[in-house]
Structure 1
Amino acid sequence: MKKLHLYLLFLIFPFHCIISQQQKVQVTPVSIQKIDADIFEGYDGLGNSYYIKNNIFFKKDENNIWQYKNVTLGKITKVDLQNPLKIVLFYENFNSVVLLDNQLNEVQKINFSKNPIPLVVTATGISSQNQLWVYDSLNQQIGLFDYLKNNYKAVSTSFPESIKMYQSDFNTFYWIDNNNNWFSCDIFGKITTKGKIADFDFIEIINDQQFIYSKNNVLIFEDLKKKGKYKIEISEKTFQKFYYKDQILSIFTSKGIINYKITTP
């Protein structure tokens, strides 16, 4: 009888896993915003939108539009909006970062090649205490760059560059390698393996256990801790990019931005 019970549990458990993976997250449309943009970058806490058009960076509220343009640095590679008073624009081809204030005035320009110890930066983002996260491909290390003191310190051990995607917050640098393995590094240099992620076209990390990704215009919310995978039901059949912040899922299409209220499981 005991063996029978174990056998039944073995049969039931994977069935529940399959059901969990097929569950869906319902969303509620809350607003639509028309926008003329090549790339939508997201919103800040006040609802201001940020986007790129013709390699010009824009900020827009209900009444005003600000812009920043720097033709000498080439294409904008990545934008970090975590601190709207200190926006980070990364120009990878010129190994440079530009810091902007909340009206998109240039506060500081950093050329990592001119650092006393030259760096070749392939990933960067805002960190805490006047610092930037940087991945230096010369030494293959994650480090912190103090942009007030122009001082750099490596915090991680060396590892081969294999960064398919990266994202950071003030205390943690996340990256996914070419084999879809997810890692994190804290400000003390501790590297943690988070898990394996399914193949994706675009991904947004919510926290150290949860993320949303798209594949072939299908949106999936996944929770590694709960081992749950859920399809997000939206009406758009195709989209260029999505953005998640504070339970608002923004879908960027050729027609504009559709914002949904979403409650993650």
Structure 2
Amino acid sequence: MKKFILFLCFFIISIGFAQEKVIKPQLVTTSTLVADEFFGSDSFGYVYYNKANVFYKQKNKELFQYKNLALGKIKGVDLQNPLKIVLFYEGFNSVVTLDNQLNETLLFNFSKNQNNPIVTSAVGLASQNRLWLFNSLPMQLGLYDFNKQQWQSLSQPFQSPIQYYQTDYNNFYWADSNNNIYSCDIFGKITALGTIPKFDAVQILSYEKVVFQIENKLFFHDLKDNSTIEIQLDKKMIEKFQVKDQFLLIFTESEISKYQILLP
């Protein structure tokens, strides 16, 4: 009986400690930024944002802009390579690539591809002059070759809609409508990574780690052991967040706050 009581006390104390475990980032800088949408930053310290549907790149007093109002609203931006930025205009089924001074280098209108019709709802930069494209017509993921202007399927038709996606050169990551996380490599190998709680926004950090937002709170989630830890912040409003190089950027309506963050 005594052993049972001791075990019960230890269990309750353990739960208490587990509930109190949090991640506390340290504020580094805060700067003013008035924008309609914040897209993120690169390794050189430039920030990218949209205002009145004009795409901007800014660092201190240095400012570049790209405007193509004929293509409508910018749906997505890929900043993996600052020398080849990818803008996705879903409404016009088009993709634009820009150089580091935001000069237009390529424009793809997939509606003009008569031989292999493409209606894309997800775009990202892949390796070897290719784009990740999710073709909504067959509901398949594939790669689009810049030079050949051809799309090649990598997957069978998806059974569940894509709720969120992100890409790197070698992987396409997505969360389906049931919050299941998957990855697909450039050879077409699909891996189930795990499931995360309900979210408003999410960033996949690796095969095992994600950060997600629900309302105005951030959480770190380990896909391997299915554990979640709150990231405590002093911000009451979070429009968008980005985790990059052990830093956390928080964008609100009028400013960007940069925190140093150490994740498990």
Tell me if TM exceeds 0.5. yes
Confirm or deny: 8 A CA contact 1:124 1:133 kept in the other structure: yes
Residue range with higher mean Cα deviation, 160-169 or 135-144: 160-169
Q: What is the alpha-carbon distance in structure 1 between the residues aligned to residue 254 and residue 62 of structure 2?
A: 21
What do residues 32-55 of structure 1 show as CA deviations (whole Å, max 9, x unaligned)? 111111111111110111011111
Secondary structure of the residue aligned to 2:122 is strand
* Equivalent residue number for residue 193 of structure 1: 192
In structure 2, distance between residues paired with 1:17 and 1:225 = 20
Cα offset, 1:20, TM superposition: 3.6
Residue 41 to residue 27, structure 1, CA distance change in 2 (3 Å): same
SS at 1:72 equivalent = helix
Going from structure 1 to structure 2, the CA distance change for 1:119 and 1:197 (only over 3 Å counts) comes to same
Identity %: 46
Alignment partners' CA distance in 2, 1:49 and 1:215: 24
Q: What is the Cα-based RMSD across aligned positions, in Å?
A: 2.2
Aligned-residue offset at 1:5 = 8.7
Q: Displacement of 1:228 after TM fit?
A: 3.1
How many corresponding residue pairs? 262
Aligned to 1:42: 40
Range with greater deviation from structure 2 (6-15 or 145-154): 6-15
Letter in 2 for 1:37: A
How far is the alpha carbon of 1:225 from its aligned partner?
Answer: 2.0
Distance in 1 between the 2:88 and 2:3 partners?
58
Q: Give the letter aligned to residue 31 of structure 1.
A: T
Task: Give the Cα–Cα distance (whole angstroms) in 2 for the partners of residues 62 and 32 of structure 1.
Answer: 13
Q: Is the 8 A contact 2:143 2:154 kept in 1?
A: yes
Cα distance in 2 for residues equivalent to 1:28 and 1:42: 19
The question of whether the paired residues in 2 share the 8 Å contact of 1:21 and 1:229 is answered with no
Q: Does 1:140 align with 2:139?
A: yes
> CA 1:222–1:13 in structure 2 vs 1: closer, same or farther (change >3 Å)?
farther
Residues 5/106 of structure 1: CA separation in 2 closer, same or farther (3 Å cut)? farther
- The CA distance in 2 between the partners of 1:119 and 1:12, in whole Å, is 59
Deviation string, structure 1 residues 57-101 (Cα, Å, up to 9, x no partner): 000022311001111111100001001100000001111100000
Unpaired runs of 5+ residues, structure 2, are none
- Summarize deviations over 1:2-26 as a string: whole Å, max 9, x none: xx99999899679757744541001
1:8/1:252 CA distance change after superposition, 3 Å: same
Q: Contact 1:217–1:238 (CA<8 Å) still a contact in 2?
A: yes
1:215 is displaced (CA, Å) by 0.7
**Counterparts of 2:181 and 2:7, CA distance in 1:** 31
What is residue 164 of structure 1 aligned with on the other side? Answer: 163
Asked if 2 retains the 8 angstrom alpha-carbon contact of 1:79 and 1:87, the reply is yes
Q: CA deviation at 1:149?
A: 2.0
The 1:71–1:22 alpha-carbon spacing in structure 2 relative to 1, beyond 3 Å, is same
Q: 1:36 to 1:8 in 2, by over 3 A?
A: same
> Which structure 1 residue ranges, 4+ long, deviate > 4 Å from structure 2?
4-19
Gaps of 5+ in 1: none
Asked whether the 8 Å contact 2:238–2:251 carries over to 1, the reply is yes
Q: Which position in structure 2 is the counterpart of 1:108?
A: 106
Change (3 A) 1:119 1:83: same
Asked if the contact 1:140–1:161 (Cα under 8 Å) also holds between the matched residues in 2, the reply is no
Residues 30/112 of structure 1: CA separation in 2 closer, same or farther (3 Å cut): same
Q: Distance in 2 between matches of 1:11 and 1:148?
A: 66
| Contact preservation (8 Å) 1:137, 1:161 | no
Letter in 2 for 1:190: K
